[in-house]
Amino acid sequence: MGLFSKLFKGPEIDMEKSQANAKKMRALFNHVVEDGDQYRLIFGYTEDVSRFNYGFVHGSKTKIGNLIVGWNEANQTIVVVPTVPDLSGCGDPAWYRRSEILKAYRSKYPTDAFVIYPNAKEYIGINAYDWLDDEKLYVYVSQDEELAAFTDFFMNQFATK
């Protein structure tokens, strides 16, 4: 590998840590969601922290809330479980069923987010990336394939037209 590639490649992903966090996410999700194994998972975060009880769940004054996001293609459902960056606990799940939402779409501004409106007064914006390096604020997990699958599901089966 040349000097140029080393300089511009970015930090290496610690796959052992990522896999350990993916297992913790699965355990937390399965603990609070019945039939949790029927859902695929990604990590996401939201800046809409008023939607959840982050005094208990997040334990910090930040305006960012960590989320375990599960989706089930067969029943067109997304389940969002608030958690903390070290995955030591989680809050109650919020269910979004395609047949019961007002609208859902992918927003590109100001950030790339999946936005769901369960009704006219509430919404949640789910930001999701392959991985984020700041472990004080985010869960460290590599999820390139799962994120691509979630994006495909959201855009083709869940988003309202």
Residue 79's domain comprises 11-158
Q: How confident is the model at residue 132 (pLDDT cuts 50, 70, 90)?
A: confident
Whether 97 maps to a domain, the answer reads: yes
Whether 34 maps to a domain, the answer reads: yes
Q: Count other C-beta atoms under 10 Å from residue 88's C-beta.
A: 10
Q: How confident is the model at residue 123 (pLDDT cuts 50, 70, 90)?
A: confident
Whether 100 maps to a domain, the answer reads: yes
User: Among 90, 100, 96, which residue's Cα sits nearest to residue 58?
Assistant: 90
Whether 3 maps to a domain, the answer reads: no
CA-based end-to-end distance of the chain? 46
- Ramachandran angles phi, psi of 8, nearest 5°: -110, 5
Q: Length of the chain in residues, anyone?
A: 161
Q: What percent of the chain is predicted at pLDDT more than 90?
A: 58
Q: Give yes or no for residue 54 having a pLDDT over 60.
A: no
Whether 4 maps to a domain, the answer reads: no
Give the start-end residues of each E strand in 85-133: 94-97, 103-107, 113-117, 124-127
Whether 56 maps to a domain, the answer reads: yes
Q: What is the pLDDT of residue 57?
A: 42
Whether 86 maps to a domain, the answer reads: yes
Q: What is the DSSP letter of 58?
A: T
Domain count, the chain: 1
Specify the CATH number for the domain of residue 62: 2.30.29.30
Q: Quick one: tokens of 63?
A: 């305006």
What sections of 73-161 are H helices per DSSP? 144-153
- Bond before 11 cis per omega within 30 degrees: no
Q: Give yes or no for residue 7 having a pLDDT over 70.
A: no
Whether 2 maps to a domain, the answer reads: no
